[in-house]
């Protein structure tokens, strides 16, 4: 069950102030996209912009994010913004029309994160890596396929995988993202390897998940065993029921395997008593939208199964179960605040 909301209000620290500035910037941006903006409104916006350095930074950020949504610009964006600002921030997201304005936003290669300062777009280099790989997925896409040896592969959102089989070995290269591997027995007895930026893993008859981040590789083993060898030559064997992270020069201690690390292959995020911001960060990997969480509720505890492909449904579920309210100042911008 989610942890109860604390009755005392958290102090308004710098993170909260930055979050507030970003929310205000999003609403100003929506207002200024509507036709027939009055001179008084323009003056009020300029005064707001000049009032605090955080306001100007937030405005610059919202502009930059908006420019990535080219299908919503011009008249289409103006109309959508007019609809968005007409919806009260206290109105339940479950009662709004669910017109999907996120379709066709292929120009956006990123995801919304819980803290606005952590918002990122997928770097161009990663996009190039993904689309030039043997197998790849777009943001929000999950797909599975079989290799020539019968091994079953699942690729998570925005992931890229190369396959190189020869007479002596079976080799996969995870360029970016996350992969679930269920290895098949090989009649020729060839070893099965998977490499990332930080090292190589050898599957010893197994089912495992590998996630590649900028700072480390995470290995989670569900069946069999997997041997890690990082770039520094350090080795570790990870048995079923354990997971480890490793970088080029270190291997972390073993931890119990997280069942959520393979739940995505079924199209769900499995949350077991995690914080709200952790859930949003994970959910953001599958979205072409920004989802912001106010710092004073980011630590609320969440448990449940959430579909990765239906953001409005997930937000509706959270709004039903937690003391929060959700607003949508822009068609592609969702804000989560204390009720």
User: Where along the chain do its domains lie?
Assistant: 14-119+267-338, 143-263
Question: The tokens of 264 are what?
Answer: 């995505």
- Closest Cα partner for 309 from 138, 123, 71? 138
Q: For residues 46 and 290, is the Cβ–Cβ distance under 8 A?
A: no
For residue range 29-68, list pLDDT tens digits in order: 777 776 677 888 888 888 888 888 888 887 887 777 666 5
For residue range 203-239, list pLDDT tens digits in order: 998 999 999 999 999 999 999 999 999 999 999 999 9
Residue percentage of the chain with pLDDT more than 90: 49
CATH code for the structural domain at 143-263: 2.60.120.1440
Rg value, the chain, Cα: 22
HEC assignment per residue over 294-335? CHHHCCCEEEEEEECCCHHHHHHHHHHHCCEEEEEEECCEEE
pLDDT surpasses 70 at 4: no
The confidence score (pLDDT) of residue 56 equals: 84
pLDDT surpasses 90 at 194: yes
- Closest Cα partner for 196 from 177, 220, 168, 169? 177
């Amino acid at each position: 069950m989610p942890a109860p909301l604390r009755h005392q209000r958290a102090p308004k620290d710098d993170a909260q102030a930055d979050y507030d500035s970003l929310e205000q910037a999003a609403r100003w941006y929506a207002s200024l996209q509507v036709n027939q903006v009055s001179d008084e409104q323009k003056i009020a916006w300029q005064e707001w912009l000049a009032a605090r350095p955080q306001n100007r930074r937030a405005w610059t950020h919202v502009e930059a994010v908006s420019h990535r949504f080219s299908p919503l610009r011009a008249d289409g964006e103006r109309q959508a913004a007019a609809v968005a600002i007409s919806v009260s921030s206290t109105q339940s997201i479950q009662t709004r029309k669910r017109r999907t304005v996120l379709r066709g936003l292929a120009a956006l290669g990123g995801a919304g994160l819980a803290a606005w300062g952590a918002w990122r777009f997928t770097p161009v280099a990663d996009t190039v890596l993904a689309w030039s790989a043997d197998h790849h997925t777009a943001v929000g896409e999950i797909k599975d396929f079989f290799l020539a040896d019968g091994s079953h592969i699942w690729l998570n959102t925005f992931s890229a995988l190369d396959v190189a089989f020869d007479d002596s070995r079976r080799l996969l290269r995870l360029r970016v993202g996350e992969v679930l591997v269920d290895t098949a027995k090989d009649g020729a007895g060839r070893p099965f390897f998977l490499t990332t930026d930080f090292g190589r893993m050898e599957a010893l008859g197994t089912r495992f998940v590998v996630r590649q981040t900028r700072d480390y590789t995470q290995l989670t083993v569900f069946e069999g065993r997997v041997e890690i060898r990082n770039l520094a030559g350090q080795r570790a064997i990870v048995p079923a029921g354990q997971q480890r992270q490793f970088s080029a020069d270190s291997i972390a201690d073993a931890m119990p395997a997280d069942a959520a690390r393979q739940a995505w292959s079924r199209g769900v995020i499995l949350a077991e008593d995690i914080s709200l911001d952790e859930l949003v960060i994970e959910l953001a990997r599958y979205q072409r939208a920004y989802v912001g969480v106010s710092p004073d509720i980011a630590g609320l505890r969440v448990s449940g199964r959430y579909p990765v492909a239906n953001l409005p449904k997930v937000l509706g579920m959270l709004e039903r179960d937690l003391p929060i309210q959700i607003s949508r100042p822009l068609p592609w911008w969702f804000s989560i605040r204390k009720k």
